[in-house]
Amino acid sequence: MAPTAVKSDVDVPEATPWRDVMRRVATDIAAPNAAVADQTASFPTRTFDALRHDGMLGLMVPKSLGGQELGLRSIADLCAILAGACGASGMIYAMHQIKLSSLVAHGMDTDYHRALMRDVATKQLLIASSTTEAGIGGDMRVSNCAIETAGDRVSLTKQATVLSYATEADIIMATARRNPASAGSDQVLIALRRDDYQLERIAEWNTLGMRGTCSEGFVLTVTAGADQIFPKPFHEIAVQSMLATAHVLWASVWFGIAADALSRAHASVRATARRMPSDFAGPLPGATRLAEATAKLQTFKSTLIAHIERFEAAKRDEDDLSSNSFTVEMNNLKIMASTMAVDVVREALMVTGIAGYRNDGAFSVGRHLRDVLSAPLMVANDRILANTAGLVVASRFDPGLE
């Protein structure tokens, strides 16, 4: 069934096969345009035009607000499919969904955020995220900048040193201190529409990989309504929805990149096999390494699925969701996924050899390797391990297999 366009206020039919839609966008548009986005460090406009046209940006929004209420497992699958075609597109799609998940989890009780969700679903608005800040780096649980309030209006100036696809986004969700007298960890999250902010570019995005995410630096200057701030403190939003969703969806993107690299390695070994004489009896070059890497990818997949199920279960129990052990498990997912994805792509390069090292050709995995090397840095693994270490030492050790 062909998906219905939702450029304006039109609902998408429930039976639309989202996976098929994403496969088509990935194959027909994202994959053939990935090299250009990478080479020119430009936003994958055609891919996101297609995703918007097919109603793919509001799938997580509740049905009561015009969305499809799609669950995390399905969204993770869609992120992986898109990332296999273009890592940057997959990451942009995942970052949008991560922000949307915070809106869905924490915005249902406020008029402003409900209206925003409805617009995301019906007008296919794209959401960007501003947590990283000058002088703070990747520690999203601390801010320098602060909200200033005058009556029912607020203002904010943030040195947002890494802010992906900011100029393409319709909405930016930003963290800040609650007020100028607040401690750095007393943060709020504010949702901003285009008319609420100005962007002054302060840093380019000329990087090794993930070039199409256009994660430039900006001074973000805001004047908005006080009701655009989420009622819940940011530390609760982070623990209860954002961190777990981010780790699941980032992991799904890295899985998609690794799986596509390995499928190229698989194709290269099969091409070698076809060239061998029919009486060839020796070990097929690359086959053993391919088998090892396939086992790693299988473990990656099982672990990712187990963590998605773990998160879904925790959502039914707020104490569990806010517990140290849940945070440790989700942090461990990020470390595992970012490490394994790099390993698998490196193995794919070893299998494909020079054909993989080339930037062109069917077996090339150069872009995959450059893109996936961002995984351990995207909130530095050392930073996450340091946080996890404190939680592990403070918690009871669980030796069980339950």
Smallest gap from Cβ 101 to ligand FAD, in A, equals 15
Roughly what angle, to the nearest 10 degrees, separates helices 72-85 and 243-275?
A: 40
What is the dihedral sign for C-alpha 371, 170, 115, 53? negative
Smallest gap from Cβ 148 to ligand FAD, in A, equals 21
Return the number of the residue (154 or 163) whose C-beta is nearest ligand FAD.
Answer: 163
Smallest gap from Cβ 375 to ligand FAD, in A, equals 8
Smallest gap from Cβ 83 to ligand FAD, in A, equals 12
Return the number of the residue (16 or 213) whose C-beta is nearest ligand FAD.
Answer: 213
CA distances from 380 to 132, 139, 348 (A): 12, 9, 24
Smallest gap from Cβ 294 to ligand FAD, in A, equals 27
Q: What amino acid occupies position 127?
A: I
CA proximity to 189, closest of 126, 104, 103, 117: 103
Smallest gap from Cβ 220 to ligand FAD, in A, equals 10
Return the number of the residue (98 or 269) whose C-beta is nearest ligand FAD.
Answer: 98
Phi, psi (degrees; rounded to nearest 5) at 399: -90, 0
Return the number of the residue (96 or 266) whose C-beta is nearest ligand FAD.
Answer: 96
Return the number of the residue (16 or 131) whose C-beta is nearest ligand FAD.
Answer: 131
Give the span between the Cα atoms of 131 and 139, in whole angstroms: 8
Q: List strand residue ranges (DSSP E) for 213-340, in order.
A: 216-225
Q: What amino acid occupies position 222?
A: V
Smallest gap from Cβ 313 to ligand FAD, in A, equals 27
Query: Rule CB under 6 A: which residues touch ligand FAD?
Result: 91, 95, 128-132, 137-138, 162-164, 210, 213, 215, 374, 377-380, 382-383, 386
Return the number of the residue (230 or 363) whose C-beta is nearest ligand FAD.
Answer: 230
Smallest gap from Cβ 12 to ligand FAD, in A, equals 27
Roughly what angle, to the nearest 10 degrees, separates helices 72-85 and 18-25?
A: 20
Q: Is 351 exposed, middle or buried (0-12, 13-18, 19+ CB in 10 A)?
A: buried
Smallest gap from Cβ 134 to ligand FAD, in A, equals 10
- Cβ–Cβ < 8 Å for 122, 9: yes
Return the number of the residue (131 or 327) whose C-beta is nearest ligand FAD.
Answer: 131
Return the number of the residue (95 or 369) whose C-beta is nearest ligand FAD.
Answer: 95
Residue 58 half-sphere exposure toward CB, CA atoms < 13 A: 34
Return the number of the residue (163 or 258) whose C-beta is nearest ligand FAD.
Answer: 163
Phi, psi (degrees; rounded to nearest 5) at 206: -115, 85
Give the SS3 label for residue 201. strand
Smallest gap from Cβ 183 to ligand FAD, in A, equals 18
| Dihedral class, residue 233 (left if φ above 0, else alpha if ψ from -120 to 50, else beta) | beta
What residues pair up with 156 in beta bridges, in sequence order? 222
- Cβ–Cβ < 8 Å for 216, 205: yes
In the complex, which residue's CB is closest to ligand FAD? 137
Return the number of the residue (55 or 366) whose C-beta is nearest ligand FAD.
Answer: 366
- Cβ–Cβ < 8 Å for 355, 363: yes
CA proximity to 257, closest of 289, 215, 210: 210
